[in-house]
Every structure is written in structure tokens, then in C-alpha cells.
Amino acid sequence: MAEPASSQQKCSCGPAESETAKPADNPATSSCCPPRTDSTREDSISSCCSPPTSAVEGSGTPGCCETTTESSCCTEDDTAIRHSWERPGHRLWHFVCGFLPTPVGEVPQVSTRLTTLDHIGRWQMRWGIGRDRYRVAPGLYAVGNPDADSDVLVSANYKLSFDALRRELQGHDLWLLVLETHGINVWCAAGKGTFGTEEIIRRVRETGLDRVVSHRRLIVPQLGAPGVAGHEVRRDCGFKVIYGPVRASDLPAFLDAGYQAGEEMRRVRFSTGDRLILTPVELTGLGRPTLYALLAVLILGGIGPSIFSFNALVHRGGGALLVFIAGLLAGAVITPILLPWLPWRPFAAKGALVGSIIALLTLLIFGRDLGTADGFALLLALPAIASWYAMNFTGSSTFTSPSGVEKEMRRSIPLQAAALLIAAGSWLWAAF
């Protein structure tokens, strides 16, 4: 339970497999994964090969859903009913609360309420714990009791995106067409092109969407636009792409207004809350290079007149380690939080400023205990480290351009490196 959806990326649901899937099968047959032995909590049973009988049942009722006005939704605690949905080798996702017969087979209905499991999963993702992909099976899902006229919302199969979407749709009857983005959110996947024109067309064909709905509209999140050419989707599969708002929370208003999004709904923001959410994963995601650097600093601290001393390692190495960590926090935590209020546009400059202020404060407090050379080293090293980590926050921000980041890096990396080298020289010299 502590590991919902772990290592699902190992299920390589390749395109070759999907092409052979017959559209008459369950819409999400494509996502059928080979049986797994280490199955903990798995892809929704919904997404895998419903029994042939249900497909036959469904295929007779083109309008679908008339028979299921009394939704089986939200009987989620009824274990007897849940058991009746079980299939050998699969496990039902907790958010699936029923199945809707359609011309293309049974489509899973998803709950619009998030449960403890969803919150635990989100918390783990925010802290980068346990796994690096958190996906649901791609394919067609239903919210409420949609019919042939209901809108189709397109989404990524990153579970946090999927959760953010469904929780906003309470009381609506909609179809969700979930694309295979390999557990990556809409915007990043659009940048890579996995949330893109081809995947939409493939998924529309594979699910047999044109037999489920009578209209030809797809509502695609605006942030999917970098990967999706609306005119090509229309040309190749007949569906018109309508770009929805940036945030899922604006979707109900967008739908009520007849697909009109105000200017505010179309803007990406980067609030203090947004930036704060990113800092834990920023820290846990630093990875090996930072660990090696920390270790190197500690060991270098041991070098001195007696060639190497453990005492020096603890005192000088430990001190330098604290300086490194202070620089890291200045660049990866404080700078992101203060981002809009710091002067200058390059992130490296913002980080260097925060680092300098912290270095000066440290000198004011501990300056007397440090020699001149050590103090000088601290004054150079801390801003350089802060600058480096601040620069790396560009990837998490919502407004930096690749050409700008490259320019910024070409200018600042030499300065950061020079400052660090001089600082290291001064610090090592101080040992003798």
C-alpha cells in the first residue's frame, strides 16, 4: 500500500502491440501489459481486455448509457461489487467506480473524489520517493454517465494530472481520453512530443472514439499545444481540437461558457505556492553529483601539514560541508521562493545575490573564528554554489526560454567555476 502503482513503467506497452488490437475490443486493450509477477497495485483492470461478452452486450446500444442512468458510481466501498469486476491477473484501481457499456465495450467510470491513496501517492511524488513514474493506463474513461453528445477531455497518463483533472469534474458527464505520456505531465510531455498529434490520432482510432460519440470535438489542455497541431489532428482523424484552459480547476467554467476561456485562464502563473511545492523534489532530485561533491569537500578538508588528518577532516571538512549546504539551500530553496522579488533576470545572478548575503551574514557571526584565507574562500564559494543551484531551477520555472538559459549558462558557468577554484585554493592554502 505504501507503493501504489510502483514500477509500472516496466510494463512496456509497445505500439506494436497496440496496432494489433482490434477496435472492437475494450478501448484500452492497447495498454494490456504482460502479466506481472511482482504485481502490487496494478494498472486498472478496466484498461485490460474486458471479457468478450461485455463487448457484445455493449455493441448493440449505440447511444449507450440509457440503461445505466442509475450510476454504479460511488459504491466504492462495496467489496462484493468490486470483486465482481476482478479479472485474473489484474487488479482494479481504487478510483474506478463502475463500468459503462458503450459500442466499443465497457468503459471504466472514475470517481471524482480523491481518496487517501491518491493523497499518499501525491505526497510521495512531491518528495521524489519510491519511483519516478506514476501512471495510469491510457485509453478511454468515463466521468459520470456520459453519452454520445458528451464532451471528450484529453489528458496525460501521469497520475497526478489525471487526479487533478477528475477531482474538478464532479457532477459532470464527460469522456476522458487518456494518452500514453509515460507518466509525464501534459506540459513536459507536450514539449517532448509524447503528448502530441500522433498519439492523439492513434488513441482516437484505437479506442474507437468515433463510435462512442456522435460529435467530433476534443478538448485538449492548452499546455498540450506545444506537442499538438490542431489542424493536423482534424485532417487525419476528423476531430476538431478545442484548447481548454491551462488549469483543470477552470474547466467547469470553460465548459459552461461554451468553450470560452478568459485571458486569465490562458496564462501560466508561477505563484509562491507553485514554487514552494517544487522545492522538496528539487532537493531530493539533486542526485549523485551533489553527493559526490559533498563527499569530496569532506575528504579535501582532511588535507593539511600532516598530509591527512581525521581531526582536520571533521573540523575543516565539516565546516566546508556546511558552507556547501548553505549555498545549496540558498540556491535551490531560498532563491526559488524569493524569485519574483530578487533583482535581475538571470537565475544565476539571483542565486549569487542570495548566496552573497548569506556569506556576509555568516562572516559577521563567525568571522572571528575564521582566518582571512578561510573567510575569503567562504565569501567566494557560497555565492558560486548558490548561483549554480539557482541556475538549475530554470528547468522547474514556467517562463524561461532555452535560448535565454543557454546564454545565461555560457556567461555564468565560467564565473562560478573561477570563484570555486579560487575559493578552493585559498581554503586549502589556509590549512598550511
Partner 1 sequence: MREYAYLNEYVSLQLDSGKCTGCGLCQQVCPHAVLRVEDGKARIDARERCMECGACAKNCAFDALKVEAGVGCASAIIYGWLTGKEASCDCSGGC
Point out which residues bind partner 1 (CB under 8 A).
125-126, 128, 131-134, 158, 183-185, 188, 190-192, 222-223, 225-231, 243, 246, 261, 263, 266-271, 278, 281, 285, 339-341, 345-347, 391-392, 394-409
Of 206 and 282, CB closest to partner 1: 282
Beta bridge partners of 217: 240
DSSP 158: B
Ranges assigned E (strand) in 2-146: 96-102, 105-110, 139-143
Helices (H), 330-371: 335-338, 347-366
Of 84 and 403, CB closest to partner 1: 403
Shortest Cβ 407–partner 1 spacing (Å):
5
Shortest Cβ 328–partner 1 spacing (Å):
15
Shortest Cβ 192–partner 1 spacing (Å):
7
At residue 399, what is the residue type? F
For residue 363, what are the CA distances in angstroms to 71, 370, 387, 418, 425? 67, 8, 19, 21, 19
C-alpha cell at 273: 505556492
Of 377 and 405, CB closest to partner 1: 405
Shortest Cβ 108–partner 1 spacing (Å):
24
| Interaxial angle between packed helices 402-430 and 372-391, expressed in degrees from 0 to 180 and rounded to the nearest 10 | 160
Shortest Cβ 30–partner 1 spacing (Å):
23
| CA pair distance 314, 381, nearest whole angstrom | 19
For residue 134, what are the CA distances in angstroms to 223, 234, 365? 19, 30, 46
Of 81 and 418, CB closest to partner 1: 418
Report the phi/psi class of residue 5: left, alpha or beta, with left for phi > 0 and alpha for psi in -120 to 50.
Answer: left
Helices (H), 261-401: 272-284, 287-300, 310-312, 318-329, 335-338, 347-366, 372-391
Shortest Cβ 393–partner 1 spacing (Å):
8
Of 217 and 231, CB closest to partner 1: 231
Shortest Cβ 197–partner 1 spacing (Å):
8
DSSP 103: T
Of 99 and 347, CB closest to partner 1: 347
Of 189 and 381, CB closest to partner 1: 189
> How many CB atoms are located within 10 Å of the residue 5 CB?
22
Positive or negative: CA dihedral 159, 163, 165, 169:
positive
Of 63 and 395, CB closest to partner 1: 395
Of 330 and 379, CB closest to partner 1: 330
Shortest Cβ 397–partner 1 spacing (Å):
7
C-alpha cell at 317: 571538512
Shortest Cβ 100–partner 1 spacing (Å):
31
Listed residue (238, 237, 236, 248) closest to 186, CA to CA: 248
